[in-house]
Structure 1
Amino acid sequence: MVHAGDGTHRFFVAEQVGVVWVYLPDGSRLEQPFLDLRSIVLTTPWIGDERGFLGLAFHPKFRRNRKFYIYYSCLGKKKVEKIRISEMKVSQADPNKANPKSERVILEIDEPASNHNGGQLLFGLDGYMYIFTGDGGQAGDPFGKFGNAQNKSSLLGKVLRIDVNRAGSDGKRYRVPPDNPFVSEPGAHPAVYAFGVRNMWRCAVDRGDPITRQGRGRIFCGDVGQNRFEEIDLIVKGGNYGWRAKEGFECYDKKLCRNASLDDILPIYAYGHAVGKSVTGGYVYRGCESPNLNGLYIFGDFMSGRLMALQEDRKTKKWKKQDICLGNTATCAFPGLISASRMFIISFAEDEAGELYFLATSYPSAYAPHGSIYKFVDPSSVSAPGRVVGIPVPTRKGNFPVRFIALGETVLDLLKEQAEKAARKLSSATSASSSHPALSKKGLSKKPASPTSGRRRPGTRKKAGVRSPGPQGKRKKSRKSHG
């Protein structure tokens, strides 16, 4: 789920099967999709299939050039599996529709296995596009003497950086930035920005502190581990992130790990499989509605469903982990707050105002319509939700919006419901006293009970979280499995 950065405050929600929906600021979803590539995108209903539509990013100057970029799995000639990165444009006639005929393939990479496909696209503050690829799949990066990730001539297991605003001299539809770290190294692919990556799933650029701008431009990534550890990394130019020599802070391939020239960059945080088995990277919170969260890197685990946060100690440069309370009365002070999110945490998102969300599903299949979108709201916030967001730029609705229905309850909803229950009890007590026999003899009768008395308010459900209906009232949701 991403925004276009064009002031409209729209959300673009991509599903693994290859369809992208537009959600308006009021939460309603446009009936017709923004983009539908289901006939091209490669994925299956198999549980755990990691292929599909995996990444979407809008150009920093999207408002002017209407360009956006996509990352998806497909079949090439002779049915060779590939990942494809393409440029597309939005229709001139309808800002809520992509022009499918505008696709320009920028880069294709052969995939030797069906898993570890990477999938993140993002633009750095330098205006370049960063591409995060997986190591090629299977287990233990078994490709070649050192694996794909440690092989700088391979595009797999890498962070790539390219300039999509200019064409290359060799006919490529991108240019290699002249300051890429391995441009002059013999045998290395010039697009490589960092290496030693296993399968980074969800990366984000830090907006920086809203006042001091500290941290602005840092790129955080969650890198999925093999058998023992999951890790969070800060991406730096020319960095080696250790795989397959290391997994987290520990050795994986002992021979490679002892290599004196490894010089790898350690994670800022790693956790074992007792906590979770597949990290999903998140964002540093920089919004306005929940100032207590400012500076926290919020992320989760796909398999365990845990939500976590890292807080930086500026003096020691160490990061301390804490769990995020999600309405569990055993750990939250507010009584009666209803839990809980769906288990499989697929991804995180940030809106134009810097508020954070996460996406989760209750069934790990690309074709299962059981996905939900949840918004992070700090109940102790000093800013009322929705009061600090800029006024959205009007956007033409090219098709009918499907009304938003919240499945969850906020603290304010619960307080309001408690007040209504108290009012109904008072009303019932008053009605009972008015039906006294002495009053009835004077021609007074008991007031009929309200037809909604004693019922839950319309529009509220027991499930905490937010879900918007898709086609026929159900919304298919993309999900990402990790190997």
Structure 2
Amino acid sequence: MKRKLHLLLALLFPILMCAQAPELQEFATGFSRPVDIKHANDSRLFIVEQDGVIKILDATGNTNATPFLDIDARVRSSGNEQGLLGLAFDPNYAINDRFYVNYINNSGNTVIARFTTTSNPDIADDTSEEILLTITQPYTNHNGGSLAFGTDGYLYIALGDGGSAGDPDNYAQNLQSHLGKILRIDVSGASGYTVPATNPFVGNPAGLDEIWSYGLRNPWKISFDSDNGELWIGDVGQNNREEINNVPIVNTGYNFGWKCYEGNETFNTTGCPAAATITFPVGEYNYGGSPFRCSITGGYRYRGNMYPGIEGWYIFADYCSNELGALTPGLGGTWSMSMFNTPFSPNISTFGEDMNKELYAAGLTDGVIYKIYDPFLSVGENSLSNKYQIYPNPANDYFQISNQNTASQIKEVVMYSFSGKLISTTTITTENQKITTNHLTDGIYIVQLISNNDAVSYHKLIKN
């Protein structure tokens, strides 16, 4: 068996050195139409199912038997783009137990609501609902649905143009409509919400107070870069362009152009403002082709520590082609786009971060939660990882950590499977402590070392 593993690695690493692409690794199964993944600044992942249920997934890939929240009876999910669509935890969730959801109610309209958690942190109080906003939806599609808190502490709400095709009622450019917009509200009060005084149309009758930006067709997923606070938007196109927008949080209203423009291309400029006033996308790709691409699923910039080879990449997907995509930063604020085939056909509906900023994706049709990983296995090479090494590597029954001493010591060793599932946590109490591996199957693992001053490094471990 050892000989086979060594041969596999000898064949594998030259291939990995030739081309780098983020890939999917199965993390957990058994979900029904998952459409959002969020964390509450702890080890849990909260998986939003379109029918109206939120489930908790732990770090080992196991799902709690009892849902966190079940509001199926309040949610209309008969349309492909209807349902419970978005989740966001309050920045002060650890203190106030408050979280927010975006769903389509039984009348077919968008509801933004606040709930609280019970004394059991794994179960929400479904009777605590406070409806903050109800927005009439003229059609069943283009509901948007994403929720996220910015670094300014405000709640951002992504709404589509109301549906049909071609924005027939021109909602996206109409500043008297919430549709085709990103709204920004302050939910820090005891009840209800207020409008930030810095919203671009506060005190200006030309636009509604809640509007922060406009000109969007169907911003199915938005996210904030946890490093610099910038907003990323995956806006689903009509039949020509799928687009990605990236902007810093400022208080002037961005106009992203729809339906005047689809991506960088003219769509219908009747009555539209000058092109110089439009914020055009930082990335776009063509609808159609082979493989057939039809709908962007917006993602996140990777800011985790486990795979520094993809640090700063914006990871997204196309729902129809089942490709992962990446925007990689270049000189002068430029971006390069790449699309990568995957061995799966999950119809990726969403991405999410865990508390360590590692990325996940959800397959709508297969109900699988995937971990995003770098096949280079380019785990961290920093001052800590250069100081400490794990040996023997490959390991049989155990490994140890070099350079341990009482003044500077690794206090904890955390082991993960290649797919990112938590396997074990070991507290280090002696300089020559052995960490057992005889319970592991042969393969490749990731070892996290945590020092006394909470510095972290990652190391590859081969078990054979």
TM-score with structure 2 setting the length: 0.72
Determine the structure 2 residue equivalent to 1:380. Answer: 376
User: Does 2:175 match 1:158?
Assistant: no
> Which whole-Å CA distance do the structure 1 matches of 2:148 and 2:279 have between them?
21
Residue 201 of structure 1 aligns with which residue?
220
CA distance in 2, matches of 1:62, 1:280: 27
Corresponding residue for residue 280 of structure 2: 266
Query: Which of residues 37, 41, 44 in structure 2 aligns to 1:2?
Result: 37
User: Separation in 1 of the partners of 2:442 and 2:319?
Assistant: 24
Does the CA-based 8 Å contact 1:205-1:219 persist in structure 2? yes
Question: Residues 28-72 of structure 1, C-alpha deviation per residue, up to 9 Å, x if partnerless?
Answer: 11111111111110012x6xx210000000001101100000000
Over 3 Å counting, the alpha-carbon distance change for 1:262 and 1:70 in structure 2 is same
Query: How big is each residue's C-alpha offset from its partner over 1:201-244, in whole Å with a ceiling of 9 and x where there is no partner?
Result: 11111111xxxxxxx10110100001111000014541000001
Q: Which of the residues 288, 291, 308 maps onto 2:305?
A: 288
Closer, same or farther: CA 392–248 of 1 in aligned 2, 3 Å: farther
> How far apart, in 1, do the equivalents of 2:442 and 2:185 lie?
43
State the distance in 1 between where 2:207 and 2:139 align: 23
Q: Secondary structure at the match of 2:270?
A: helix
**2:137 corresponds to 1:111:** yes
Residue correspondence of structure 1 range 73-222 to structure 2 within 5 A: 73-75=104-106, 80-92=107-119, 94-143=120-169, 147-166=170-189, 173-208=192-227, 216-222=228-234
Deviations 1:240-259 (CA, angstroms, capped at 9, x unpaired): 000011101011103245x4
Q: Secondary structure at the match of 1:357?
A: strand
Q: Distance in 1 between matches of 2:134 and 2:329?
A: 38
Residues 241, 98 of structure 1: alpha-carbon distance in 2 compared, 3 angstrom cutoff: same
> Residues 245 and 11 from structure 1, CA distance in 2 versus in 1: closer, same or farther, beyond 3 angstroms?
same
Query: Retained in 2: the 8 A contact 1:2–1:57?
Result: no
Q: 1:307 aligns with which of 311, 316, 324?
A: 324
How far residue 2 of structure 1 moved from its aligned partner, in angstroms, is 3.4
Task: State the partner residue of 2:55.
Answer: 21
Aligned to 2:407: none
Q: Residues 60 and 421 of structure 2 are in contact (CA less than 8 Å); yes or no, is this contact kept in structure 1?
A: no
SS of residue in 1 equivalent to 2:95: helix
Paired with 1:68 and 1:108, the residues of 2 have a C-alpha distance of: 17
> Residue by residue, what CA displacement relative to the aligned partner does 1:73-112 show, whole Å, maximum 9, x if unpaired?
013xxxx4210000000001x1100001111001100000
Q: Quick check: 2:104–2:110 contact (8 Å CA) kept in 1?
A: yes
In structure 2, distance between residues paired with 1:342 and 1:411 = 25
Summarize deviations over 1:127-160 as a string: whole Å, max 9, x none: 00000001011011111xxx11001110000010
Q: Does 1:224 align with 2:236?
A: yes
Q: 3-state SS of the aligned residue for 1:254?
A: coil
Aligned counterpart for 1:360 among listed residues 349, 363, 367: 363
* Shift, 1:187, TM fit: 3.4
Percent of aligned positions with the same letter in both sequences? 37
Aligned equivalent of 1:65: 96
Q: Distance in 1 between matches of 2:262 and 2:130?
A: 37
- Partner-residue secondary structure (3-state), 1:63: helix
**In structure 2, how many angstroms separate the alpha carbons of the residues matched to 1:192 and 1:419?**
54
| 1:307-359 Cα shifts (integer Å, max 9, x gaps) | 1100111x321110123364xxxxxxxxxxxxx22241111111110111111
Aligned counterpart in structure 1 of residue 314 of structure 2, from 276, 288, 297: 297
CA distance in 2, matches of 1:317, 1:383: 26
- Measured at CA, do residues 137 and 262 of structure 1 come closer, stay the same or move farther in structure 2, by a change above 3 Å? farther
Tell me by how many angstroms 1:392 deviates. 11
Conserved 8 A contact 2:48-2:54? yes
- Whether 2:273 is the aligned partner of 1:241: answer no
Aligned to 2:403: none
Distance 1:70 1:223 in 2: 20
The equivalences for 1:375-454 within 5 A come to: 375-383=371-379, 386=416, 412=444
The Cα RMSD (Å) is 2.7
Match of 1:460 in 2: none
- Distance in 2, Cα, partners of 1:294 & 1:125: 20
2:408 maps to none
Letter in 2 for 1:381: L
Structure-1 separation of matches of 2:163 and 2:357: 34
AA of the residue aligned to 1:97:
I
Question: Residues 159 and 62 from structure 1, CA distance in 2 versus in 1: closer, same or farther, beyond 3 angstroms?
Answer: same
Q: Which has the higher strand share?
A: 2
Which 5+ residue runs of structure 2 have no aligned equivalent? 1-35, 381-414, 426-440, 446-461
Counting only pairs closer than 5 Å after superposition, residues 320-331 of structure 1 correspond to structure 2 as 320-324=336-340, 326=342
Q: Give yes or no for contact 2:148–2:155 (8 Å, CA) kept in 1.
A: yes
Quote the offset at 1:185 in angstroms: 1.7
The 8 Å contact of residues 39 and 354 in structure 2, kept in 1 or not, is answered as: no
Residues 239/390 of structure 1: CA separation in 2 closer, same or farther (3 Å cut): farther
Contact 2:323 2:341 in 1 (8 A): no
Question: Cα–Cα, structure 1 residues 224 and 319, in superposed 2: closer, same or farther, change >3 Å?
Answer: same
Change (3 A) 1:410 1:136: farther
Of 334, 348, 352, the residue aligned with 1:349 is 352
Q: Tell me the TM-score normalized by structure 1.
A: 0.69
| Residues 11 and 353 of structure 1, relative CA distance in 2, 3 Å threshold | same
